């Protein structure tokens, strides 16, 4: 199957990395920045084409991986070639209806991945326009399942998926960074702090998963009466850490709803 990529930036890089592992896909790409497309050719041996239109004409499934502000420009360039090809957009906050306004009632898929697809541990939200057939849905699903867990949702959930899981790696990195800073403040070297804190987060997740523990159970097991942990938890509560985290994610959700 022929897969086209319009835009060879960060997300496209992770997508191509996953797709090239499967021999059944042939990949064609284009970027206005020719250096970026050439880099893909060098790294992944993909074919580089000369325009957005060429990608659409050469491929069955076309993934548009440009910034939200650039997507309408791409759509207006390709609208006459789309025909019954499948157009996949990964842009945050751009609805299927907004895309239809430019290219008409075509086969459109929205996918919201996160950067963890680069290690095949992504979470990808997916929704389809009504004209996509069941066997086409399966093909798209299969294509993206090599990158992580795919959840097919009603389009109204795409903004929540963007905020929770698309932006998620940045939010998680922010918490991890606070923890590393605390370790450095308490005298550990930066390198040691980094490695130990990653182990702490990873170990806690593995423990919860393998032993099917809830967050409450973990907290109960760790918090001794009159001990150290309760001191830390009380301070987090006093500073409304949970509320701040929830509010931050809701802000990202609202931004996704109003991005263009
Ligand atoms: N970075 C992230 O974690 C995530 C990003 N997204 C979405 O992915 C999309 C791409 O984001 P990034 O990869 O971070 O951006 P990026 O800036 O790294 O890549 C965008 C690429 O598109 C190219 N481009 C712009 N106009 C073009 C055109 N007309 N034809 C061909 N190429 C063109 C640019 O030269 C650039 O290389 C965005 O819409 C974003 O909302 C979705 C999920 C997560
Ligand atoms: O910040 C952004 O707009 C994109 C969407 C999800 C992750 N990055």
Give the tens place of pLDDT for each residue, 42-80.
999 999 999 999 999 999 999 999 999 999 999 999 999
CATH assignment of 168-257?
Answer: 1.10.3730.10
Which band of pLDDT confidence, cut at 50, 70 and 90, is reported for residue 201?
Answer: very high
Q: How far apart are CA 138 and CA 150, in angstroms?
A: 11
The predicted structure's pLDDT at residue 23:
85
Which band of pLDDT confidence, cut at 50, 70 and 90, is reported for residue 21?
Answer: confident
Tell me the average pLDDT of the chain: 97
Residue whose CA is at the smallest distance from ligand 2 atom 8: 167
- Overall average pLDDT of the 179-185 stretch: 98
Evaluate whether 55 touches 5 at the Cβ level (below 8 Å): yes
Q: 108-127: per-residue pLDDT in tens?
A: 999 999 999 999 999 999 99
Atom of ligand 1 nearest to the CA of 68: 39
Neighbours of 174 (CB within 10 A): 11
The predicted structure's pLDDT at residue 189:
98
- Overall average pLDDT of the 91-113 stretch: 97
Q: Is the pLDDT of residue 222 over 90?
A: yes
224 CA distance to ligand 2 middle (Å): 40
Residue whose CA is at the smallest distance from ligand 2 atom 5: 92
Which band of pLDDT confidence, cut at 50, 70 and 90, is reported for residue 245?
Answer: very high
Q: Is the pLDDT of residue 183 over 90?
A: yes
The predicted structure's pLDDT at residue 215:
98
7 CA distance to ligand 1 middle (Å): 6
Sign of the dihedral defined by the CA atoms of residues 48, 54, 58, 62, in that order: positive
CATH of the domain spanning 2-158, picked from 3.40.1370.10, 3.40.50.2000, 3.40.50.720, 3.40.50.2020: 3.40.50.720
Domains 2-158 and 168-257 share a fold: no
DSSP per-residue codes, the chain = -EEEEE--SHHHHHHHHHHTTSTT-EEEEE-SSHHHHHHHHHHH-PEE-SSHHHHHHH-SEEEE-S-HHHHHHHHHHHTTT-TTPEEEE--TT--HHHHHHHH-S-EEEEEE--GGGGGT-EEEEEEE-TT--HHHHHHHHHHHHTTEEEEE--GGGHHHHIIIIISHHHHHHHHHHHHHHHHHHTT--HHHHHHHHHHHHHHHHHHHHHTT--HHHHHHHH--TTSHHHHHHHHHHHTTHHHHHHHHHHHHHHHHHT--
Evaluate whether 144 touches 113 at the Cβ level (below 8 Å): yes
Going from N- to C-terminal start, the domains of the chain cover 2-158, 168-257
Atom of ligand 1 nearest to the CA of 33: 35
Tell me the best of 11, 66, 116, 162 to mutate to test the pocket of ligand 2, counting ligand atoms within 8 Å of each CB and taking the most. Answer: 162
121 CA distance to ligand 1 middle (Å): 20
Q: How far apart are CA 145 and CA 18, in angstroms?
A: 9
Q: What is the ipTM of this complex?
A: 0.98
**Ligand 1 near 112 CB (within 6 A):** yes
Q: 146-165: per-residue pLDDT in tens?
A: 999 999 999 999 999 999 99
Q: Is the pLDDT of residue 196 over 90?
A: yes
């Amino acid at each position: 199957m022929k897969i086209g990529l319009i835009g060879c930036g960060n997300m496209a890089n992770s997508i191509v990395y996953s797709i090239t592992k499967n021999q059944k896909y042939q990949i064609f790409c284009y970027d206005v920045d020719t250096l970026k497309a050439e880099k893909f050719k060098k790294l992944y041996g993909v074919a580089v084409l000369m325009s957005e239109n060429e990608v659409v004409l050469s491929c069955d499934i076309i993934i548009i991986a440009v910034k939200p502000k650039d997507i309408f420009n791409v759509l207006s360039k390709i609208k006459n070639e789309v025909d019954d090809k499948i157009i996949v957009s990964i842009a945050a906050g751009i609805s299927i209806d907004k895309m239809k306004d430019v290219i008409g009632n075509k086969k459109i898929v929205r996918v919201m991945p996160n950067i963890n697809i680069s290690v095949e541990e992504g979470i990808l939200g997916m929704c389809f326009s009504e004209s996509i057939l069941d066997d086409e849905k399966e093909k798209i699903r299969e294509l993206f399942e090599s990158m992580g867990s795919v959840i097919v949702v009603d389009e109204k959930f795409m903004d929540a998926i963007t905020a929770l899981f698309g932006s998620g790696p940045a939010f998680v990195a922010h918490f991890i960074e606070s923890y590393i800073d605390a370790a450095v403040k308490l005298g550990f070297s930066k390198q040691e702090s980094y490695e130990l804190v990653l182990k702490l987060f990873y170990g806690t997740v593995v423990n919860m998963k393998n032993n099917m523990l809830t967050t409450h159970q973990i907290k109960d097991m760790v918090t001794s009466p009159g001990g150290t942990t309760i001191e830390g938890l009380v301070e987090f509560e006093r500073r409304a850490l949970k509320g701040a985290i929830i509010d931050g994610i809701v802000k990202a959700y609202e931004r996704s709803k109003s991005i263009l």
